[in-house]
Amino acid sequence: MSLIGRPRFGPAGVVLVCAAVACVGDFFTGPATPPIVAAPPPVFPQVDVNPAGATLGAVGATVTLSTTFLDSAGNPVSGVRVTWRTLNSAIATVGVNGRVTAVASGQAAIAGTADTLTGYALLTVAVAQANPFATWQAVPSPVPDELRAVWALDASDVYAAGKAGRVLHQTGSGWSSLALGVKENLNAVWGGSDTSVFIVGDGGRLLRLNGTAWSASKVGSTTLRAVWGASPADVFLAGDGGRVWRLDGPSWTLLATGATKNLAGVWGTSASDVYVVGDGGTVLHFDGAVWTKLASGTTKNLRAVWGVSPSDVFVAGDGGTLLHFDGTGWSAMTSPVPDGINALWGTAHSEVYATTSTGKILHFNGTAWTIAATFGGNLKGIWGAYNALAYAVGGGGKIVRGAP
Which domains are seen in the chain, by residue range?
8-125 (2.60.40.1080), 135-403 (2.130.10.10)
The whole-number pLDDT of residue 385 equals 94
Q: Three-state secondary structure along 28-71? A: CCCCCCCCCECCCCCCCCEEEEECCEEEECCCCCEEECEEEEEC
Q: Among 364, 393, 333, which Cα is nearest to 133's?
A: 364
Residues near 364 by beta carbon (within 8 Å), at least 6 away in sequence: 314, 333, 346, 350, 351, 352, 353, 354, 370
The whole-number pLDDT of residue 33 equals 39
Are 355 and 382 contacting, i.e. CB atoms less than 8 angstroms apart? yes
Are 100 and 64 contacting, i.e. CB atoms less than 8 angstroms apart? yes
CA distance 64 to 79: 18
Q: What is the pLDDT along the chain (404 residues), one digit of tens a residue?
A: 333 333 333 333 333 333 333 333 332 333 333 444 455 555 558 898 999 999 999 999 999 999 988 888 888 888 889 999 999 999 999 999 999 999 999 999 999 998 889 999 999 999 999 999 999 999 999 999 999 999 999 999 999 999 999 999 999 888 999 999 999 999 999 999 999 999 999 999 999 999 999 999 999 999 999 999 999 999 999 999 999 999 977 899 999 999 999 999 999 999 999 999 999 999 999 999 999 999 999 999 999 999 999 999 999 999 999 999 999 999 999 999 999 999 999 999 999 999 999 999 999 999 999 999 999 999 999 999 999 999 999 999 999 999 99
DSSP state of 335: P
The whole-number pLDDT of residue 79 equals 85
Longest Cα–Cα distance in the chain? 62
CA distance 15 to 38: 12
Beta bridge partners of 27: none
* 73: alpha, beta or left? (left if phi > 0; alpha if psi -120 to 50): alpha
At residue 275, φ and ψ (nearest 5 deg) are: -115, 140
CB atoms within 10 A of CB 36: 12
CA distance 399 to 397: 6
The whole-number pLDDT of residue 38 equals 52
The whole-number pLDDT of residue 22 equals 36
CA distance 29 to 302: 23
CA distance 351 to 329: 21
Are 6 and 248 contacting, i.e. CB atoms less than 8 angstroms apart? yes
CA distance 22 to 257: 28
